[in-house]
Chains A and B, each alone.
Chain A
């Protein structure tokens, strides 16, 4: 009998968990958005209301224009529970970029809580069926498990692509479900009384952990309002609402470090960092600000669903770091992580190489992008089984305990405010505007540890117009902080632009 119960519990997938939490904790608050609370019951009614709307759509892929409101979160859940795939669309991105996403994902149905603004979100709205998610509520708040193949995509996120075209990363329901299971297998002691921070833009997959995990246990999600100074607003929420679980980008510590002496968040139980290199000196001070919390460095690319390696910060012993960057730890359950050389052969412990990932959380490959898939994925025989691995582009080595030590990026893909940015995409658009005059984008770190973008242009002095053009093509976080004009770019011995020589000029 006990065995049966055990089996049944572990057969529950993420849909069952959300359904059960919504029944058991129907009067609990599910969301706190801009100081307004929404219970599980109320959220469930909205989800079912939007699900009813979706019956009129034959499209599998549904675009959701994202705002910081309950309608947007309900729309995400409605799409998942309708057995469809959601694609978050940032209304502040250039319309051309959003059009590219709609085109690539073959989206014909858009959900929005601000339908009047849709013409500003997309350059071309013809052919789009725009559905208004406001004032849509069903009498029934109970969620119904979708009859859906877990091989189907849960969402597609678009990241920066080197050719100027955003790259779609589809994540299947089974990948997301594997993440949820692996997350709980880490042993967090969580229940419905916990309060989770949600600081991320919904086009960023770290947001999914921040709202999905609490919904599986009946806990409440506290969102950071958009359009404010995010780090100040986030801290305010951490303190005012006594947040107990917070996944944040390490940049926030660069902001808060000056004020560590003022900060004491006693209620924080789990303080997770992801999305960028986490610096040991910043973490040490932060750990004192959250005296009762487990501080954890988590790592993972979008391609391997949210995060897949974790390292627990040790308060009473020396912590592992490489050049001041905190260790990224060990793989979560059902993840295989290896380090390979240039020939994609696994290297021995202690040898630097490229970190590659495989397992239950791995995407099936980029959307309609065979060339990129060929570059980024490869098959390797692992213990007698052919496994598909993803090349992360991150340089690591494995230490004697099996922990992964992060060393840096292999290419010129960087993280800016947690967003992954291909510097070549910025160069691409700069060259397009300058009719292919030479452009090189580089980054530096300021004294606070924040990443700044410097765009070097060769013999082109209309920088204001160039900047204005870039603003029509790229999201704000990709706009250069500085444009520098150089007469002639220095060349290296191979006759290529000497990026290192340019970097010395920053």
Chain B
């Protein structure tokens, strides 16, 4: 899957999880940029992303993610396997 498509589909996941159609993610986006992004919504976000891309993250991978860019790279790597 092309990186842009990953970004577009992930953006839709963010809009759904945070119930906000105006969210525009970028590689630099972090939890500090989205008001309701806390431990609870993070859990929902991870599950929704796993369902969207039919992948599974490991805890170590989640810990290593510092921003949405890391998130997208991780999705891309998993889809390439």
Contacts and interface: CB of A to CB of B under 8 A. Distances in A.
Verify that A and B bind, or say they do not: yes
A251 B39 contact: yes
B42 A232 contact: yes
Interface in B20-36: 31-32, 35-36
A231 B59 contact: no
Nearest to A234: B39
Given A227-B31, A227-B32, A228-B31, A262 B60 contact: yes
B43 interface: yes
Contacts of A236: 63
Main secondary structure of the interface of B (DSSP, over half): helix
A479 B31 CA distance: 17
B2 interface: no
B43 A254 contact: yes
A252 B38 CA distance: 12
Contacts of B63: 232, 235-236
Contacts of B44: 446
Given A254-B43, A450-B43, A229 B59 contact: no
Interface in A246-295: 251-252, 254-256, 258-259, 262-263
Given A255-B43, A448-B43, A229 B60 contact: no
Contacts of B43: 231, 254-255, 448, 450
A229 B32 contact: no
A446 B39 CA distance: 14
A229 B58 contact: no
Given A228-B31, A254-B43, A476 B60 contact: no
B42 A229 contact: yes
A448 B40 CA distance: 9
Interface in B23-78: 31-32, 35-40, 42-44, 58-60, 62-63
A448 B45 CA distance: 13
A84 to B, nearest CB: 33
A417 interface: yes
Interface in A405-453: 417, 446, 448, 450
A227 B35 CA distance: 10
A227 B38 CA distance: 8
B62 A476 contact: no
Interface string A473-496: 000100100000000000000000
Nearest to B31: A229
Contact of B39 (A230, A258, A259, A479): A230
A156 B31 CA distance: 31
A469 to B, nearest CB: 15
Interface residues of B, number: 16
Contacts of B62: 232
B40 A450 contact: yes
A446 B32 CA distance: 24
B39 A262 contact: no
Contacts of B40: 251, 417, 450
Contact of B38 (A230, A235, A262): A230
Contacts of A446: 44
Contacts of B36: 476, 479
A236 B31 CA distance: 16
Given A227-B31, A227-B32, A228-B31, A263 B39 contact: no
B69 to A, nearest CB: 16
Contacts of A255: 39, 42-43
Contacts of A231: 39, 42-43
Given A227-B32, A229-B37, A476-B36, A259 B59 contact: yes
Contacts of A417: 38-40
A198 to B, nearest CB: 16
Contacts of A235: 59, 63
Interface in A211-245: 227-232, 235-236
A262 B60 CA distance: 8
A288 to B, nearest CB: 15
B59 A263 contact: yes
Contacts of A259: 58-59
Nearest to A467: B19
A476 B36 CA distance: 8
Contacts of B42: 229, 231-232, 255
B16 to A, nearest CB: 13
Contacts of A263: 59
A476 B38 CA distance: 10
Nearest to B43: A255
Nearest to A260: B59
Contacts of B35: 476
A259 B47 CA distance: 13
Given A227-B31, A262-B59, 10 more contacts: A229-B31, A232-B62, A251-B39, A252-B39, A255-B43, A256-B59, A262-B58, A450-B43, A476-B36, A476-B38
Interface of B: 31-32, 35-40, 42-44, 58-60, 62-63
16 contacts: A227-B32, A229-B37, A230-B38, A231-B42, A232-B62, A251-B40, A254-B43, A255-B42, A256-B59, A262-B59, A263-B59, A417-B38, A417-B40, A450-B40, A450-B43, A476-B36
Interface of A: 227-232, 235-236, 251-252, 254-256, 258-259, 262-263, 417, 446, 448, 450, 476, 479
Minimum-distance CB pairs A-B, first 6: A259-B59, A231-B39, A229-B42, A230-B39, A236-B63, A262-B59
